[in-house]
Amino acid sequence: MKLKEFYTAVIETGIENDLRGRDEIQKLLAEEQGKFDKLDDKEKEYFDRDRLFNPFSDTRILHGDAEVEVNKAVIGIDMEVGEVLLTYVLNKDLSPKIDLIIAHHPEGYALVRLFDVMKLQSDLLAACGITLSVAEKLMEKRIGEVERRLMPINHNRTVDVAKLLDLPMICIHTAADNCVTNYLTRLFEKEKPARLKDILQLLKGIAEYQRSAALQLPPRIVSGSEDSRCGKIVVDMTGGTEGAKDVFEKFAAGGVSTLVGMHISEDHLENAKKANLNVVIAGHISSDTLGLNLLLDSVEKKGRLEFVCVSGFERVRRGA
């Protein structure tokens, strides 16, 4: 398939798995169109027009002709300068050659606006019973922190190398994270685990977490015990990066008992414990891999691709 078809399928899959729902996504896209229409011609030159159809600012084509045919891709969780150079070296001997570099974690201008997708977390908090205005205020401070932290980073370092070597590159972040969040949410709703040990058992039945366990990084309980009762479970694996540190009391007040996440900082964990929440860490790279695999299963309905897997990723196909 062409790169533009691959990109469109990625966005569509991300929207299908977005817990906000398609109607809310369409409202957000309409708001972006309204902002664009009000700009003068000079301002429009610098507007990222992908925002008019793609609600995930951390999922972008970073380099390459949208018309290029993609048959083989190198894919990994972190695709930085080393992985780009590796691709160039591999292409000297590979036949057919690698057509596309796929990164999970954002690079280039997709990294610049990582903070923008964090607004998604306000809606997810509201779905957990937290008043929307409270959720937005909690996230407002955290979004500002992340935006300022990203400002001094050398965002385009990796993309510059891809351009010099003329290697098409794309990053797929929140679109994939939506897939793992939706998948695990539905799994827990269906299986109704009673205790934390039951959550661990369900996770250990998933190929990506089995691989991680073999690498000595199994899913773990970091707050609570195996016999702690689950109560209401929330899967917290999308929205760019970790949310507000002060949200955990609000989760508890909204009836949440257990959080299942990719990772958690010490400050966030301490606050979760103060709020008497159970916390299960499924794993970062393993959860990212699961999200990418679920997304690619959907995208490959339009045409099967060959993958060279690096940087923590392993392709696992589900179904036919």
CA distance 64 to 8: 15
Query: Which residue numbers in the chain have pLDDT < 50?
Result: none
pLDDT at 239: 63
- Per-residue model confidence as pLDDT tens digits over 254-263: 889 999 999 9
- Per-residue model confidence as pLDDT tens digits over 146-181: 889 999 999 999 999 999 999 999 999 999 999 999
Fold for domain 179-283?
3.40.1390
Q: Are 286 and 261 in contact (CB under 8 A)?
A: no
pLDDT at 21: 92
pLDDT at 58: 95
Q: Where are the domains of the chain?
A: 3-176+288-309, 179-283
pLDDT at 131: 81
What is the pTM for the complete model shown?
A: 0.94
pLDDT at 243: 67
Give the number of other CB atoms < 10 A from CB of residue 220.
Answer: 12
pLDDT at 230: 98
pLDDT at 240: 61
pLDDT at 320: 54
- Per-residue model confidence as pLDDT tens digits over 122-140: 888 888 778 888 888 888 8
Give the number of other CB atoms < 10 A from CB of residue 308.
Answer: 18
CA distance 26 to 207: 34
